[in-house]
Amino acid sequence: MKIGAFDHLDASGRPLHRHYEERLALAERYDAAGLYAYHLAEHHATPLGMAPSPAVFLSALAQRTKRLRFGATVFCLPFYNPVRLFEEICMLDQMSGGRLEFGVGRGISPIEARYMGYDPEALPAMMAEALELILRACEGGTLDFAGDHYRVEGMPIEMAPLQQPHPPLWFGVGYPEAAERCAARGANFITNLPAARVRPLTDAYRGAWSGPGEMPLIGMSRHIVIAEDEGAAMAAAAGAYKMWRESFLKLWWAHDQEPPNIRLPEDFAEMCKGGQAVVGTPAQVAERLAVQIEEAGVNYLAGRFMFGDLDAGLATRSVELFAEAVLPQLEAM
């Protein structure tokens, strides 16, 4: 088992410059605690994502951490010129000493895609072409690429990522078919689904994976809040969850839509009952996460330790308690 952190970098109600600094300071705690990686979401025109340019925030994070791996999970590939994104990937990987994790996707929201000027129906094909172009560019030499959406002729490749042949790939996965495609690439994946719905994904991945060496990371993310007192942890987490949920759904609701394949209960107690949030004392959290890990069949867990207007001091203490009393037990599984 490896343990990381996932962050929407959603709005907290605090001034934005303070918001960024609190998240960077928490990333330093992740680094000190020995977490494996930090995953940052990309969203646009929504309070769910206050890092619409993940590479900008990650470049700051790279300088504030020493061992922590990091990446966007995911870069919304159709929203970029793939040549430009390839160059930014090289910079991030080189500047961090080879710590970049390269998450890719088309973006979950057709609303955001339209705001960015793209036809949502074209996104899957654009993503596939952009990824192929970027991976070819990582090979070096001269780049020639002719697709329906992107064309490059005779471009000399002057940059390269430090990790060869390219930084590890990550996908967001919600269906067994997608898990199988991910396995065929030998890529890592992460999902937000409840444990019972994660198991078909991990089973499908293991059934399709045949690569040499150690199996890639197949994981899930969970809201995690830990305190010495369970009641205090629940009270703080419930209020922060309400704000996070409203940020998550705001753009969808504004367009009379619901996000696909996602259900976020209004009642935080139901969120905990379903296992997508794990809150309590260190002993309680360790036990509950261990049960979920076994049920889901994952070998990776990404904690969402700060969300909504959760107090930064409480989040920091939560991470410290996690590192002291929970992390060793989970890593030993």
**pLDDT tens digits for 192-243?**
999 999 999 999 999 999 988 899 999 999 999 999 999 999 999 999 999 9
Going by C-alpha positions, the residue among 169, 192, 193 that lies closest to residue 181 is 169
Give percent of the chain above pLDDT 90: 97
Cβ burial, residue 153 (10 Å; 0-12/13-18/19+):
exposed
Residue-wise pLDDT tens digits, 116-130: 999 999 999 999 999
- Residue 137: helix, strand or coil by DSSP? helix
Token readout for 200 is 């078909």
Task: Record the tokens describing residue 295, joined without a space.
Answer: 């049920």
Enter the pTM of the model. 0.96
Burial class of residue 200, CB neighbours in 10 A (0-12, 13-18, 19+): middle
Q: How far apart are CA 214 and CA 211, in angstroms?
A: 8
Q: What residues contact 92, with CB distance under 8 A and at least 6 apart?
A: 55, 58, 59, 62, 100
Contact assessment for residue 4 and residue 302, using Cβ atoms and an 8 Å cutoff: yes
Residue type, 62: A
Q: What is the pLDDT of residues 131-182, one digit of tens each?
A: 999 999 999 999 999 999 999 999 999 999 999 999 999 999 999 999 999 9
Report helix, strand or coil for 169: strand
